[in-house]
Amino acid sequence: MRTIIICVCAFLWAACGSAQSGGGDDKCKDFDLDVKKVWNAEIKLKMDIAIKQFGGEAGIGESEEVATRMDSVTRDWVMLRESACRDHFMRGLITAEEYKARVTCFDAFLQTLRTTIAAIEGGDDAAVEQALTASTELEQCR
């Protein structure tokens, strides 16, 4: 009897443990952590200060517009990255090659975003325009 109870408990523990972990879904989580390395409150503040310093009065509105667009494009990046992951690993809608191509594009986009933000912080006015049009570049990864 004791052996049966131990076996039943072990089975329930194993079944509940795998249900909580989410199985293949784990591969498709936490992409927001990748974005936070590139775009977070601290970086947003640094960028805001930099744009206002080199943009004067016009920099105030421009800074808000850049922050709004960056919030949007980074949120879109996470959603698209998660969707591509689920399309490959969970839904089987795209091949490994297609998935790799999308991931490569997403990673390159995030690196470009990092470079753009650093350029803005360094006072590069042209980088502001690049940040404002970043969503167009992200569309190419679909």
pLDDT band at residue 125 under the 50/70/90 scheme: confident
pLDDT digit string (tens) for 102-116?
Answer: 999 999 999 999 999
For 41, 49, 135, 142, the CA distances from 129, given in Å and listed in that order, are 21, 16, 12, 22
pLDDT band at residue 122 under the 50/70/90 scheme: very high
pTM of the model: 0.79
Task: With H, G, I as helix, E, B as strand and everything else as coil, classify residue 38.
Answer: coil
Q: Which of 1-5, 62-66, 91-95 has the highest mean pLDDT?
A: 91-95
pLDDT band at residue 93 under the 50/70/90 scheme: very high
* Domain-wise residue ranges, the chain: 24-139
Of 77, 83, 85, 84, the C-alpha closest to 108 is 77
Average pLDDT, the chain: 85
